Amino acid sequence: MKERILIGLDLGSSHIRVAVGQVCFNADKQNSLNIIGVVEVPSKGISKGCISSLEDAVTSVSNALEQAERLVGVPIQDAYVGIGGTHIGSGQAKGVIGVSRPDGDIRAEDVARALESARAFINPANQEILHVLPREFSVDGQGGIKDPIGMQGIRLEAEVQVIQGLLSHIRNITKTVFRTGVDVNELVYAPLAAVETVTQPKFRELGVGVLVVGATTTGLAVYEDGELLYATTLPMGGDHITSDIAIGLRVSLDVAEDIKRVCGHAVPGEVDRRQQIDLKDFGADQSEVVSVQYISEIIEARVEELYEKVDEQLKKIGRAGLLPAGMMLTGGGAKLPGMVEVAKRVLQLPCTVGFANVQTPMPELVLDPRFSTSVGLVLWGHNAEQNDSTVARKNWFGENKKFSQALNKITEPIKRIFKSFMP
Ligand SMILES: Nc1ncnc2c1ncn2[C@@H]1O[C@H](COP(=O)(O)OP(=O)(O)OP(=O)(O)O)[C@@H](O)[C@H]1O
Ligand SMILES: [Mg+2]
């Protein structure tokens, strides 16, 4: 039985996370994916999805990958890498081509050319395209076609959703990963990776939103008719709640983070009115008794503001209160009690914390919302490698693989020399 190790690398502002998937192929070429483990290390040099210090980021990513290597027992060569940040946005575009075969049979190459022509249409100089995702095709003016391969026609049009971000930020992410000696299989917009973990195709068909509440950012992806309708990243996350607590109680950020995790709740009405804490018990310099309900009111205000911003985005695309499968919450920030209740009230949608449907020997860790992006990257990689011909998932990075391999040749021996000095 053959196996392939798939690595999902999520570069977060608070933590770098790695998920390790093992794909086993049996004699009939059937395969099964098992998430054999996850690794998390504190992140340095990454802020709001962008690299703020290359050296620090390389050190953090190296640490995480080394821990993952110990888990798998073999060197990690490549990874599916998640990329976030408010500089990344989505927009719609159209590509048109003439069908190449004289008999009018539409083939995979025609679909690839139609998508490529859409890409050529919308590529401004300082932006890099991450994904060109087909929404629907038209053949000789007849729209609503999901898969035109094998159909007859002369003119093929592709309506696509394009995800692109600032070239410099994207290059810095790839440079960081290259410097650790690991090849990037594909750069994936992080909220789309989380979607793979927390939704099923039938939800995406009905209409669903996924909200990834991180430390400094919140990613939003909306699906309808099985395709991506809209994706964006808001510059607000769980750390803003921590800052509000720190300012409100006049304590340090570390103390505020501890208080949030131990007794934080986003719904003051659900907290016992008599419950009080002493700030000194959480590491504050001076003793001061504070009601937990007061802390909850601070949290509620920020959480409401976050969801109002999400609702504004939904209004922009005409889907406010109109997603039949509701909103799935995930990311570390979704672990705060009361997040779901406030989301239901502000967004007027069914809301729940989404969980992965994956095979794993350690469900209590792997299914934690904070790992949804890294696990989703493994699922994304698994899908992409299964449908190798899926043109939709090809991205610009394929063209740069030679560069990465050349760089690897240079960095690998250096990495080996360093490793030989390590205990
Ligand atoms: N148990 C918990 N209760 C409340 N909040 C939590 C809990 N665990 C994590 N968080 C919050 O989740 C946030 C971190 O989420 P996550 O680890 O998904 O972010 P990240 O991926 O590192 O950041 P980003 O995606 O913004 O770059 C922090 O603000 C943290 O306080
Ligand atoms: Mg994140």
Question: Both tokens of residue 249?
Answer: 């109680």
pLDDT at 268 over 70: yes
Of 14, 192, 259, best ligand 1 pocket probe by most atoms within 8 Å of the beta carbon: 14
Exposure pattern of 85-102 as b/e (b: 16+ CB <10 Å)? bbbbbbeebebebebeee
Quick one: which atom of ligand 1 is closest to the CA of 15?
A: 22
pLDDT at 8 over 70: yes
Is the domain of 20 the same as that of 120?
no
User: pLDDT tier at 125 (50, 70, 90 boundaries)?
Assistant: confident
Does some domain include residue 203?
Answer: no
State residue 364's pLDDT score. Answer: 86
Which ligand has the nearest atom to the CA of 214?
A: 1
Helix, strand, or coil here: 105? strand
CA–CA separation, 225 and 192 (whole Å):
16
- Is the shortest distance between the CB of 370 and ligand 1 below 6 Å? yes
CA–CA separation, 125 and 395 (whole Å):
17
Is the domain of 269 the same as that of 124?
no
State residue 32's pLDDT score. Answer: 87
- Is the shortest distance between the CB of 82 and ligand 1 below 6 Å? no
Residue that has been written with the tokens 């600032």 in this structure: 166
Rounded to the nearest integer, the mean pLDDT of the chain is 89
Is the domain of 50 the same as that of 117?
no
Ligand 2 centroid–CA 332 distance in Å is 8
What average pLDDT does this structure show over 149-158?
95
CA–CA separation, 404 and 417 (whole Å):
20
Does some domain include residue 321?
Answer: yes
Ligand 1 centroid–CA 230 distance in Å is 23
Is the domain of 177 the same as that of 294?
no
For the chain, what is the domain count?
Answer: 3
pLDDT at 58 over 50: yes
Final residue of a structural domain among 300, 320, 353: 353
Residue that has been written with the tokens 């038209």 in this structure: 138
- Is the shortest distance between the CB of 335 and ligand 1 below 6 Å? yes
CA–CA separation, 135 and 158 (whole Å):
8
pLDDT at 300 over 80: yes
- Is the shortest distance between the CB of 238 and ligand 1 below 6 Å? yes
User: pLDDT tier at 26 (50, 70, 90 boundaries)?
Assistant: confident
CA–CA separation, 262 and 253 (whole Å):
14
CA–chain centroid gap for 268, Å, is 30
- Is the shortest distance between the CB of 233 and ligand 1 below 6 Å? no
- Is the shortest distance between the CB of 338 and ligand 1 below 6 Å? no
What average pLDDT does this structure show over 403-417?
43
Helix, strand, or coil here: 44? coil
Report in angstroms the alpha-carbon separations of 289 from 242, 262, 274, 397. Answer: 18, 16, 12, 55
Question: Both tokens of residue 117?
Answer: 């022509």
Residue that has been written with the tokens 């469900």 in this structure: 363
Ligand 1 centroid–CA 232 distance in Å is 18
Does some domain include residue 228?
Answer: yes
Helix, strand, or coil here: 52? coil
Q: Could you tell me which residues come within 8 angstroms of residue 107 by beta carbon, excluding any fewer than 6 positions away?
A: 100, 101, 149
What average pLDDT does this structure show over 241-258?
97
What average pLDDT does this structure show over 132-157?
94
- Structural domain for 337, as ranges: 209-353
Ligand 2 centroid–CA 373 distance in Å is 7
> Residue 146 maps to which CATH number?
3.30.1490.110
Is the domain of 239 the same as that of 105?
no
Ligand 2 centroid–CA 251 distance in Å is 25
- Is the shortest distance between the CB of 246 and ligand 1 below 6 Å? no
Residues counted in the chain? 423
Is the domain of 226 the same as that of 243?
yes
Is the domain of 290 the same as that of 397?
no
Is the domain of 28 the same as that of 80?
yes
Is the domain of 117 the same as that of 141?
yes
Q: How many CB atoms lie within 10 A of CB 281?
A: 12
User: pLDDT tier at 224 (50, 70, 90 boundaries)?
Assistant: very high
Helix, strand, or coil here: 284? coil
CA–CA separation, 210 and 223 (whole Å):
9
Does some domain include residue 204?
Answer: no
Final residue of a structural domain among 166, 183, 217: 166
Of 38, 335, 371, best ligand 1 pocket probe by most atoms within 8 Å of the beta carbon: 335
State residue 294's pLDDT score. Answer: 97
Quick one: which atom of ligand 1 is closest to the CA of 331?
A: 18
Residue 114: name the closest of 138, 131, 143 by CA: 138
What pTM did the predictor assign? 0.89
CA–CA separation, 347 and 314 (whole Å):
9
Is the domain of 96 the same as that of 216?
no
User: pLDDT tier at 388 (50, 70, 90 boundaries)?
Assistant: low
Give the residue ranges of DSSP H helices in 128-228: 167-179, 190-198, 201-206
Ligand 1 atom 9: residue of nearest CA: 332
> Residue 236 maps to which CATH number?
3.30.420.40
The residue that leads in pLDDT, 226 or 397, is 226
What average pLDDT does this structure show over 27-37?
84
Which ligand has the nearest atom to the CA of 218?
A: 1
Least confident of 85-89, 99-103, 403-407: 403-407
For residues 92 and 162, is the Cβ–Cβ distance under 8 A? yes
Final residue of a structural domain among 321, 337, 353: 353
CA–CA separation, 301 and 251 (whole Å):
19
Residue 382: name the closest of 359, 401, 366, 362 by CA: 359
Does some domain include residue 149?
Answer: yes
Is the domain of 348 the same as that of 272?
yes
pLDDT at 310 over 90: yes
User: What's the angle, vertex CA 240, arms to CA 234 and CA 243, rounded to 5?
Assistant: 160
State residue 418's pLDDT score. Answer: 41
What average pLDDT does this structure show over 233-240?
97
Ligand 1 centroid–CA 145 distance in Å is 40
User: pLDDT tier at 1 (50, 70, 90 boundaries)?
Assistant: low
State residue 366's pLDDT score. Answer: 85
Is the domain of 50 the same as that of 146?
no
The residue that leads in pLDDT, 389 or 102, is 102
Of 169, 233, 370, best ligand 1 pocket probe by most atoms within 8 Å of the beta carbon: 370
What average pLDDT does this structure show over 45-65?
95
User: pLDDT tier at 387 (50, 70, 90 boundaries)?
Assistant: confident
- Percent of the chain whose pLDDT exceeds 90: 79
